[in-house]
Each structure stands twice: as structure tokens, then as C-alpha cells.
Amino acid sequence: MAGTLYVVATPLGNLSDLSPRAAETLRSVTVVAAEDTRHSKPLLVHAGSTAELLSFHAHSSDGDLRRILDLLGTGKDVALITDAGTPGVSDPGARLVAAARERDYPVVTIPGPTAVAAALAVSGLSADRYTFLGFLPRKGGDRTRLLQQIAQSEWTVVVFEAPNRAAELLKDLADACGGERQAVVAREMTKVFEEARGGTLLDLAGYYEEAPVRGEVTIVIAGAGKQAPSAPPPDLEERARRLLLEGLSRKDAAHRLAEETGVSRNTAYRVVNEL
């Protein structure tokens, strides 16, 4: 029988957040596939795990992937962990999980910490519905498109950012969404210097321009709210017919139709002449 791939959520910072089930899983598996083995070694020591540590990250080769799949194929259980939080959530892991599922190997989640839920919980912003966009592109059309998507989103949006680029992103968000849009910057969650600072995007951009961010950063942006429904398009033919019945010439009716509805004069003339 094939081994089981356990997708294990690990603490964002405070090792006490490692669940008993996660610790037991790390102790029971043969191999732990970690994003950074040096970073994860203290976690395994904390859990009392003697499992072999293998590196598996965003730039791992196909050979690294096959090695883990071969272990699973020979009946060995493997735990997949990332540096912090839940694997696959803006972190490596989806590639391995997809490959294991394609081979019908058992895949089991060991849920736990995630920076997205943690930041939403302390933000005070609505989390009934939200959009998670991970790390935005650093520049170019894709960045502009996602900034506009955030600006227009009816719901709360959550993004990650590197600390040295947080102030720049807040400024870009203020430009796209309007400086008065509410947001919260959550950093170093569960760690000694944990902070969740709220305010307008303009205020937050100014604050972190003067006091550069340190540590892991999650930004929560309030939604734009439900947009008022747009007025239904006018019935051009019906309005044109009424104008003609009022005794207006076709030229005058077309002129009035264009003024009242905002359609081009060519469109107005076409509608009138087709009646």
C-alpha cells in the first residue's frame, strides 16, 4: 500500500501553536518534506520527531518531486510542511499534493495556523466573504490589474508582502483605492513584537514610510461595499417612437434621443430611421 502524504500546518512563530495532532504526525512519519530544512529543524526537535528531513520548495527539481513520490509509493508516510502556516497557501506544496493525488496516494490535512485567517481575525474588518491574492507582482500590468481588482472588490481583500516593500504597496493601494479606504497591517503574528495597526491606507502608507516594517507582513483591505445597481439601459426604440408621435422630424427626434440617452448621434439616427 502507498504511504500517506500529510499536509501539516505549522506555527507562524510561536511553537506553542503546534497542535498535538500535528506533533504526533511529525513523530510518526518517515520523512518530512520542508521548505527550508534549516528553518524546520528546531520545529522537529520541539515535536520530538526523528524523521528524515528533505528539502522541497518552489524551485525544487522534478527529481526532488519524484524522490518524495517514490517514498510514498513504497509505503512510507511523508509530512509536508512550509516555513510557517499552511502549505499550499501562497507557499510551495500544491505541486506535490497534485502529483500525489494523480497517483491516488492518500492525502490528509492536519489543519492549523494560517496567516490569512489570523490577520482577518484581528483586523476588525468583515470576513464573511473575502478575497486572498497572495503576493502581488512587483511591477507591470499584472500588478496594476490586481490593484484595480482590490479597489473594486465588494469584499475584504488579504495580501502578503515582503517587509521592505510594504510601504510602497500601501502607497499604491492608496492611489488605487483612495486614501480613505480602511486597512490593517498585521505583522509578526504570534511572535514577541506582534502588531496589528489599523487606519486609512494613506495614514498607514505614511506611517510605514517613516517606520519601516520588520517581520512577516499581511495586509487586510476593507472592501468597497456593494455597488448600487446601474440604471437599466433606455428603450431607444420606444423613446424614438414617442418623439416622432410628438410631431418631431426624424432629424430633431434623433437629436433629442442622443441628448436624453447619451447614445451617439449616429446610433440615434439609425434607431429613428429604422422605425
* Per-residue confidence (pLDDT) for residue 263, from 0 to 100: 82
Whether 83 and 128 map to the same domain: the answer is no
Whether 145 and 166 map to the same domain: the answer is yes
Whether 125 and 212 map to the same domain: the answer is yes
- Share the mean pLDDT of the chain: 94
CA 90 to centroid of chain Cα atoms:
8
- Of 113, 131, 151, which residue sits at a domain end? 113
* Per-residue confidence (pLDDT) for residue 230, from 0 to 100: 55
Number of Cβ atoms within 10 Å of the Cβ of 218: 25
**Domain containing residue 122: CATH number:** 3.30.950.10
Q: Bridge-partner residues for 220, per DSSP?
A: 158, 184
**In the structure grid, which three cell numbers stand for residue 144, read together?**
496594476
Whether 205 and 250 map to the same domain: the answer is no
Whether 58 and 90 map to the same domain: the answer is yes
* Per-residue confidence (pLDDT) for residue 233, from 0 to 100: 65
Give the DSSP letter string of 225-269. -PPPPPPPPP-HHHHHHHHHHTT--HHHHHHHHHHHH---HHHHH
- Mean pLDDT (whole number) for 131-160: 96
Give the DSSP letter string of the chain. -PPPEEEE-B-SS-GGGS-HHHHHHHHH-SEEEES-HHHHHHHHHHHT--PEEEE--TT--HHHHHHHHHHHHTT--EEEE-SSB-TTSSSTTHHHHHHHHHTT--EEEE----HHHHHHHHH-S--SSEEEEEEPPSSSHHHHHHHHHHHH-SSEEEEEE-GGGHHHHHHHHHHHH-TT-EEEEEESTTSTT-EEEEEEHHHHHHHHHHS---S-EEEEE----PPPPPPPPP-HHHHHHHHHHTT--HHHHHHHHHHHH---HHHHHHHHHH-
Whether 107 and 180 map to the same domain: the answer is no
Residues in the chain: 275
Residue 238 has pLDDT above 60, yes or no: yes
**Per-residue pLDDT tens for 179-207?**
999 999 999 999 999 999 999 999 999 99
**Per-residue pLDDT tens for 164-183?**
999 999 999 999 999 999 99
CA 137 to centroid of chain Cα atoms:
12
* Per-residue confidence (pLDDT) for residue 260, from 0 to 100: 85
Residue 135 has pLDDT above 90, yes or no: yes
- Tell me which residue has cell 488605487: 176
Asked if residues 176 and 106 have their Cβ atoms less than 8 Å apart, the reply is no
Q: Which residues of 195-207 are buried (b: 16+ CB within 10 A; e: fewer)?
A: ebebebbbbbbbe
- Tell me which residue has cell 506533533: 23
| Structural domain containing residue 127 | 116-221
Report the distance separating Cα 219 and Cα 147, nearest Å: 13
Count of the separate structural domains present in the chain: 3
Residue 27 has pLDDT above 60, yes or no: yes
* Residue 229 forms part of a structural domain: no
